[in-house]
Amino acid sequence: MTDQLPTYRRKPARDRFYGWRPAIHHPEPGPGEEFPPGPRAPIAVQSLRTWAARNTYWPKMQERYGDTFTLRVAPVGRIVIVCRPEDVRTAALGSPETFPIGENNLLFEPLVGRGSVLALDGAAHRAARKRMVPPFHGKRIAGVVSTMARLAEEEVAAWPVGSTFPLVECMRRLTLKVIIRVVMGVEDPTRVAEVSAALGRVLDVRTLDLLMWIWPRLTGFGPWRTAIAAMQRADDLLFEEIAGARQDPGRSERPDVLAMLLDGSPDDEQVRVELLTLLLGGHETTAVAAAWMFERLLRHPAALARTREGLDDPDDEYRAAVIKETLRLRQLSYNLGRRLSVPAELGGYHLPAGTFVWPSIAAAHTDRATWGEDATEFRPERWLDPGVPARAFLPFGGGAHRCLGALFAETELEIILRTVLRDVDLRPDRPAAEKPVMRHVVQVPARGARVRVVRRTGR
């Protein structure tokens, strides 16, 4: 394939780090403005605890300083964390003119490139989003359900009976294949494996990798050099797929997202950025959510039994309740990020323009005043109650920047849930629940959601 395709002139992947600078800001409060209290620990300590363990660090800070507190986190600078559900909603769903997202998400630029919808605001964001919305309409997603189901069945069929394995790795493999087939339109198994290997490393951003964001010179050394080489390989493969799709005479009949992104003849770099944005947003989060879904069900036998009862009913509401309850307690993103364009009041504090505000989705999803005394318990039945506080549920963000692939992710999770429970019986490797640990902004099972297939049902 590559012998027939033209070579595109483009910047090396490592140049994206040299062309980017951390958006560190320390706005000073004006008259009547002030920052909430916060810890006095060195910025290095606060940064490490935020990036590596915010799911334990932030609740401790909330208990000590209240629902609104200030941290200093590299490479961003001063950040105000808001935990009260009303303030979380205000920041997440407020006017994009007051609570823009773009500058906060510039952290993604070295990974995906300049011009990602993640880091745009205003007219530029609306134009980019308009281009990327059509592939995720309900009818388009309905057209790829059979592909999702087939890939899920193939994955589950490969699970060994009697062996214990980390379910999260299986789900990462599956969701990446779904994206490569459905989003990129790659069908050849050898090519799928090649693209999966390259993109898998790029999307697996490790804590050590983040040092490149702060010190770009590291891109020439040790593990960072290896990471850059993987990014470069992924770029090369993406450009090859873009070129192949552009030259495909049957492109107008293709159901994949890449074929639609080429409508209007955008340049190849723009399409590469859009593809990586979709890959970044739809791979790790969905895989981890799927792993948590089973980790929770396997430790709640009544909920598991109720889910099994409705497997043959395509309209059973309990499956959606299981998915929502999983996303409530094991958030796709622990927090969102905004930067005030004008002064604003949050949590009883008048904050100056330029302040980075990070609303804690996790705090809003487990607030006892909102969800009740059982707020931290896994109870899917709460979603069958018409009085459930759905307005406090923000798994995909909200407002103008709500996740493009929300329906895609929910559909994929339901297909995975039905396929696994239909084809195999799983058991956890031990009775105790797995603790969540942070992996970037996502909480992952500490031991990978380890399970064992005890039998194949053959249904």
Q: Is the pLDDT of residue 421 over 90?
A: yes
pLDDT of residue 276: 85
Average pLDDT, the chain: 88
Q: Is the pLDDT of residue 382 over 70?
A: yes
**pLDDT band at residue 343 using 50, 70 and 90 as cut-offs:** very high
CATH number of the structural domain spanning residue 363: 1.10.630.10
Rounded to whole angstroms, the Cα distance separating 149 from 138 reads 16
Tokens 């705090």, residue located: 363
Mark out the alpha helices in 2-137 (DSSP H runs).
15-18, 43-65, 85-93, 109-112, 122-132
pLDDT of residue 5: 37
pLDDT of residue 217: 85
pLDDT of residue 324: 97
What is the token pair recorded at 442? Answer: 């996502």
Model confidence pLDDT, tens digit, residues 8-19:
346 788 888 777
Mark out the alpha helices in 206-358 (DSSP H runs).
211-214, 222-247, 257-261, 268-282, 284-298, 301-309, 317-329
User: Which one, of 337, 235, 349, lies nearest residue 7 by Cα?
Assistant: 235
Rounded to whole angstroms, the Cα distance separating 4 from 295 reads 47
User: Which one, of 10, 202, 198, lies nearest residue 112 by Cα?
Assistant: 202
**Residues 354-387, buried b or exposed e (16+ Cβ, 10 A)?**
bbbbbbbbbbbbbbeebbeeebeebbbebbeeee
Tokens 């329906």, residue located: 407
Q: Is the pLDDT of residue 2 over 50?
A: no
In this prediction the pTM is 0.90
What is the token pair recorded at 374? Answer: 């059982």
Report the domain count for the chain. Answer: 1
Residue 439 is part of which domain span? 2-456
pLDDT of residue 6: 37
Of residues 265 and 4, more confidence is placed in: 265
